[in-house]
Structure 1
Amino acid sequence: MRLLFLLLLMTSSPRVSSSFVKPDSPEMKGVVSSIILSSLEQAVIFLEKDYTNTEVNDMVSLRILQVELKAVQKIWIKDPLFRILNQKVEKLIEKLDKFIGKSINKLKLLQPTYVQAFHPLLKPGFWQLPCQWIRTNTSMIYDEIHHEDAKVLDVRDNCIVELLASRINEDWSCSCSHSCETLVTKLGASNYYLSYQLRYFLFSKMLECSGDLFQRNKHYMDLFCANMMKMNQDAELNGYTFPDHGLFMTNSE
Structure 2
Amino acid sequence: MRLLLLLVSLSLFTSCTTHEEEIVVRNTIEAIGKAVGLLKSQYKEFNVDGLLGYTILSEQIEGTLERLDAKKNPYTSILLRGLNIILKESFINATYYTKRRTPLYFAVFEELLSDEFWTLPTSWLQTTPELVYPELSDESSYFDEKSSDECFSLLLGTSGKTKETCLVTPFCLRRITQEKCTDYALSHQLLYLMIGKMKHCQDDLIVKEFDHYANIFCANMMKVNLDIEQSGYPVGRQDLFMENILLCGLCGYSDFYKLEWMNKIISWQNPIFGCFGNIESNDNFENPYNGDALRKRVKRMERRFLDGCLSHKTSVAIASLGGFLYFSTYE
**Could you say which TM-score interval applies, normalised by the shorter chain?**
0.7 to 0.9
Listed as ranges, the matches of 1:49-198 within 5 Å are 49-80=41-72, 82-146=73-137, 148-149=140-141, 152-165=144-157, 169=163, 171=165, 174-198=166-190
Q: TM-score, normalised by structure 2?
A: 0.63
Whether the aligned pair in 2 keeps the contact of 1:166 and 1:175 (CA below 8 Å) is no
Q: How many Å separate the matches in 2 of 1:145 and 1:130?
A: 30
Deviations 1:31-50 (A, max 9, x none): 44222211110112123333
Deviation at 1:26, TM superposition (A): 6.8
Q: How many residues align?
A: 226
Structure 2: runs of 5+ lacking an equivalent: 1-16, 247-331
Report the AA paired with residue 230 of structure 1.
K
Amino acid at match of 1:243: G
Which of 202, 214, 217 is 1:221 aligned to? 214
Question: Deviation string for 1:108-162 (max 9, x for gaps)?
Answer: 2222222222122111111111220111122211111246437723321111011
One-letter amino acid of the counterpart of residue 234, structure 2: T
SS at match of 1:34: helix
The 2-side partners of 1:170 and 1:176 are apart by 10
The residue that corresponds to 2:252 in the other structure is none
1:239 alignment partner, one of 220, 225, 232:
232
C-alpha displacement at 1:169, in angstroms?
A: 5.0
Alpha-carbon shift at residue 79 of structure 1 (Å):
3.0
Deviations 1:199-218 (A, max 9, x none): 10001011111123323122
Structure 1 residues 195 and 56, CA gap change in structure 2 (3 angstroms): same
Corresponding residue for residue 37 of structure 2: 45
Contact 1:142 1:188 in 2 (8 A): yes
Task: Provide the C-alpha distance between the structure 1 equivalents of 2:101 and 2:28, rounded to a whole number of angstroms.
Answer: 33
SS in 1 for 2:155: helix
- Tell me the CA shift for residue 187 of structure 1: 0.9
**In structure 1, C-alpha distance between the alignment counterparts of 2:143 and 2:117, rounded to whole Å:** 30
Deviations 1:68-88 (A, max 9, x none): 1111111111334x3211111
| SS of residue matched to 1:51 | coil
Matching residue's letter, 1:235:
I
Q: Aligned partners of 2:183 and 2:28: how far apart in 1?
A: 26
* Mapped partners of 1:41, 1:208: distance in 2: 32
C-alpha separation in 1, matches of 2:70 and 2:122: 19
Residues 15-43 of structure 1, C-alpha deviations (whole Å, 9 max, x = no match): xxxxxxxxxx9744324422221111011
The answer on whether the counterparts of 1:67 and 1:127 sit within 8 Å (CA) in structure 2 is yes
Match of 2:204 in 1: 212
Q: Which residue, 223, 226, 232 being the options, matches 1:230?
A: 223
Report how far residue 91 of structure 1 moved.
1.0
Question: Quick one: which amino acid aligns to residue 230 of structure 2?
Answer: L
Contact 1:118/1:161, CA 8 A, preserved across alignment: yes
Q: Which amino acid aligns with 1:159?
A: C
Matches within 5 A, 1:4-43: 27-43=19-35
Distance 1:152 1:31, change over 3 A: closer
Give the superposed CA RMSD.
2.3
Conservation of the 8 A alpha-carbon contact between 1:194 and 1:224: yes
Tell me the TM-score normalised to structure 1 length.
0.81
Alpha-carbon shift at residue 166 of structure 1 (Å): 7.3
- SS for the counterpart of 2:157 is helix
Is the CA contact 1:141–1:223 (under 8 Å) kept in the aligned structure 2? Answer: yes
Larger relative CO (CA 8 A, sep 6+): 1 or 2?
2
User: In 1, Cα distance between the equivalents of 2:143 and 2:210?
Assistant: 25
Aligned to 2:10: none
